[in-house]
Amino acid sequence: MASKLTHEAISEKFLASDAVKFDGLAKFVNEYGPELVSHDDGLHGVIFGKYNILACMIPAFDLAQLVGDLGAARQIAAAAQKAHQ
């Protein structure tokens, strides 16, 4: 059985695969970002971090249905992070 890949190894392989086209993402944000900010009520964003790349484009109502109270979600995330340490 192959050894378990580390997060860093998976990240390097993912980035090397060009699965995410950062130039295309930047072009999209540059072209459509101002219009979305001024004419839409949804959540639009891209989050980059050590453990994720998340692109989210969801109407505000649907976001509330999926996530609910963001304050409670923040508390749950903090508790999960503390338990993981």
What are the extents of the domains in the chain? 21-84
> pLDDT grade, residue 82 (50/70/90)?
confident
Higher pLDDT pick, 12 / 51: 12
Q: How far apart are CA 7 and CA 10, in angstroms?
A: 5
| 3-42 confidence digits (pLDDT tens) | 788 888 888 888 899 888 889 888 988 898 888 777 766 6
**CB atoms near residue 63 (< 10 Å):** 14
pLDDT of residue 1: 45
* Average confidence score pLDDT of the chain: 77
- Let me know: does 9 contact 29? Beta carbons within 8 Å: no
- Let me know: does 20 contact 53? Beta carbons within 8 Å: yes
